[in-house]
Amino acid sequence: MKFLPFIATSCTGLLLLIGSGDLPITADPLSPPHTHVSPRYIEQGYAETNVPNMVTAVLADYRSFDTLGEVTAIFAATMAVLLILRTKEN
């Protein structure tokens, strides 16, 4: 049954390709991310988080749920590698 995964992957890829057509043009100053969230992070980031590094303030405070997902992905990947490469001794 290699046919079903192929269909599922093709459908997902097609959906992503269709969806990417609606993304704003790269570095467009009038796109929604650059008119709503970016000014807020730049102007009030230090006052709200008291952290001088703006990148960390976004990654670890405003979007820390996303970072939690990243860490969980690393954890899951490590466990998958260890399970695939497991040997008799351990």
Partner 1 sequence: MITTQNSAVARTISRLLIPFIQLFGLYVIMHGHSSPGGGFQGGVILASSFILMAVGIDLAEVKRRFPPLVLATFTSIGVLLYATIGMLSLVLGGNFLDYGVIPIPDARSVGMLGIEIGVGITVTASIVSIFCKLITFE
- Which chain residues interact with partner 1 by CB under 8 A? 48-53, 55-57, 59-61, 64-65, 67-68, 70-72, 74-75, 77-79, 81-82, 85, 87, 90
Token readout for 19 is: 């969806």
Q: In whole angstroms, what separates CA 89 from the centre of its chain?
A: 37
How far apart are CB 36 and partner 1 at their closest, in Å? 20
Residue closer to partner 1 (CB basis): 31 or 49: 49
How far apart are CB 56 and partner 1 at their closest, in Å? 5
d(CA 73, CA 48): 29
Select from 38, 18, 19, 16 the least CA-distant residue to 28: 38
Residue closer to partner 1 (CB basis): 8 or 77: 77
